[in-house]
Amino acid sequence: MREPEALSQGAGPTPEELRGAIEDPRAKLSPTALRILEATRRVIVEEGFAKCTLSRILEVSGERNAAAVKHYFGNKSGLVSVVLDTVLYDVMSTLDAPPSDQLSQQGLSRLTVQTAIVNQPSDALRILFEMLPHVLRDEQLLERLHAYYEAFYQLHFAQLRREGGSPGPGPQGADPAHASPEGLASLLSAIGDGLAIQALVRPDHFDFSETLRALDALLRRGLPSVAQDDRG
């Protein structure tokens, strides 16, 4: 997963340009490699990461040649890395999804709507949280996850700046009525993770509505320009 350009200088790229800079890890895979990859994702979703053995992956994929994983991915670790990349790409891609009628009718700001869209229960999020304990013990996977968070911060940062956010005063004499876009971007990512976990725990019973209204009120207080909703 390629990390987008940083936004430290000038106006920087738009959120749409940042998303466009992230490549789909599936794009260059052969049909056989794609079949193995999707079988791996399916095993993780339906049976858990602990059950994701090479023999089970081959069984689900219908691939009879055990050397196929080595040929296309190097080894199982290489396959797991690609799985993580596809999951992170899928989560980022949901930012382009249109809001549901229910979200559209609540009059929420664009930032709140995007936070809700990204963190709706999905196979990608389930796989990510299934893999997380393993990722935290693997330096290479941890770097991939770090790049994802950096990209996500940059997307929120770009959206915040487009909606009129500006850094508040520095630590000395800081005005509590103002928050920097960097801090808000990190906070939105953390809130999103928490919402995603709650939604995955009880997807049929978790109601985003009250949480989203509370988040929207906080954003409008800390960043008044989000009231000028801009979904175009």
CATH of the domain at 203: 1.10.357
2 located within any domain? no
71 located within any domain? no
What count of Cα atoms within 13 Å lies in the side-chain half-sphere of residue 176? 0
Residue 99, domain extent: 15-25+81-164+178-227
Going by C-alpha positions, the residue among 30, 98, 32, 102 that lies closest to residue 65 is 32
Going by C-alpha positions, the residue among 95, 96, 113 that lies closest to residue 104 is 113
- Phi then psi for residue 191, to 5 deg, are -60, -40
61 located within any domain? no
- Per-residue model confidence (pLDDT) at position 200: 86
21 located within any domain? yes
pTM of this prediction?
A: 0.78
207 located within any domain? yes
Q: Cα torsion for 40, 45, 49, 55, to the nearest 10°?
A: -40
7 located within any domain? no
3-state SS, residue 11: coil
Spatial distance between the Cα atoms of 168 and 181, rounded to a whole number of angstroms: 9
Confidence of residue 104 (pLDDT cuts 50, 70, 90): confident
62 located within any domain? no
Number of domains, the chain? 1
Which residues have a Cβ under 8 Å from the Cβ of 187 and sit 6 or more positions away?
Answer: none
Mean pLDDT of the chain: 78
Residues 138-192: pLDDT tens digits? 999 999 888 888 877 877 777 666 655 443 333 344 444 455 667 777 888 888 8
- Per-residue model confidence (pLDDT) at position 17: 58
Token pair 């049929």 is at which residue?
204
How many other CB atoms are found less than 10 A from the CB of residue 8?
A: 9
C-alpha distances (whole Å) from 184 to each of 113, 114, 154, 171, 191 are: 15, 14, 11, 16, 10
- Per-residue model confidence (pLDDT) at position 178: 54
Answer whether residue 41 shows pLDDT above 80: yes
- As a whole-number percent, the residues of the chain with pLDDT over 90 amount to 34
Confidence of residue 20 (pLDDT cuts 50, 70, 90): low
- Per-residue model confidence (pLDDT) at position 169: 38
- Per-residue model confidence (pLDDT) at position 161: 67
89 located within any domain? yes
